[in-house]
């Protein structure tokens, strides 16, 4: 059966101060790595709501996960693109699971390995009933690349609601950032599973981090 997706009218714009605080409290809780999977047959039990982080190698996925949780070493960062070669699962306070996906678009990865990753990711996206949202990270300095569009198309077919998160926004002028936002928002009109609102973040300055925490907290399991 094909999964159906529902896109929230607004993920960021209508957040309240109370939701911002709830997000801060959730992401301040214990967050532990508990599973690594290199194949669809090795995925953990689907229990808590999940969000996954996708993006090109070196887009800043690990840095964003660390910034969200207020840690420096939760997700490994590396100067070597393509280092993450499995789905890494993190339990956040017993209420939400964050999934760090392998980076894509790295030319030195073999075609065979790239094909295997793609097949694995397709299976994960289509079959993970607890997956509530995907965040597709895009370097704000470069905008959408063909590999980003491929990932977005994959999520459209899997009926996974996703949102574009522009990383490294502190490296851009306001004018250049707005230009990138407009270009990305225009491209999203062609993708049915995409939320039209584009989020700006900076793991270095904290730009957009409180709002993204609050947005993701809406998807978490209720507090015990």
pLDDT value, residue 110: 66
Task: Write the secondary structure of 94-153 as one string of H (helix), E (strand) and C (coil).
Answer: CCEEEEECCCECCCCCCHHHHHHHHHHHHHHHHHCCCEEEEEEEEECCCCCCHHHHHHHH
List Cα–Cα distances, 170 to 76, 198, 202, in angstroms.
21, 15, 6
Number of H helices, E strands in the chain: 6, 7
Classify domain 17-217 at the CATH superfamily level.
Answer: P-loop containing nucleotide triphosphate hydrolases (3.40.50.300)
pLDDT value, residue 76: 56
Residues 175 and 222: their CA atoms lie apart, in Å, by 40
Residues 51 and 76: their CA atoms lie apart, in Å, by 18
What is the domain partition of the chain in residue ranges? 17-217
Residues 53 and 175: their CA atoms lie apart, in Å, by 27
Residue 78's nearest CA partner among 88, 91, 70, 69 is 88
Q: Are strands 87-92 and 31-37 parallel, antiparallel or unpaired?
A: antiparallel
Please state the pTM of the whole predicted model.
Answer: 0.88
What are the tens digits of pLDDT across the range 72-83? 777 654 444 444
Ranges of the chain whose pLDDT falls below 50? 1-10, 77-83
pLDDT value, residue 128: 93
pLDDT value, residue 105: 72
């Amino acid at each position: 059966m094909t999964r159906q997706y529902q896109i929230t009218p607004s993920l960021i714009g209508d957040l309240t101060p109370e939701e911002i605080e709830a997000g801060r409290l959730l992401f301040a809780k214990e967050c532990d790595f508990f599973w690594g999977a290199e194949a669809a047959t090795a995925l953990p039990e689907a229990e808590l709501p999940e969000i996954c982080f996708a993006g090109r190698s070196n887009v800043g996925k690990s840095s964003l996960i660390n910034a969200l949780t207020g840690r420096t070493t939760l997700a490994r960062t590396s100067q070597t693109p393509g280092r993450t070669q499995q789905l890494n699962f993190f339990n956040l306070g017993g209420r939400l699971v964050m999934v760090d996906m392998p980076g894509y678009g790295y030319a030195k990865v073999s075609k065979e390995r790239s094909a295997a990753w793609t097949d694995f990711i397709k299976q994960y996206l289509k079959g993970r009933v607890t997956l509530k949202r995907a965040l597709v990270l895009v370097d704000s300095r470069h905008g959408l690349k063909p590999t980003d569009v491929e990932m977005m198309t994959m999520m459209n077919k899997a009926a996974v609601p996703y949102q574009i998160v522009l990383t490294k926004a502190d490296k851009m002028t306001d004018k250049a950032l707005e230009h990138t936002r407009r270009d990305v928002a225009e491209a999203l009109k062609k993708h049915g599973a995409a939320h039209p609102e584009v989020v700006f973040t900076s793991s270095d300055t904290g730009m957009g981090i409180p709002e993204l925490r609050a947005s993701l907290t809406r998807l978490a399991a209720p507090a015990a």
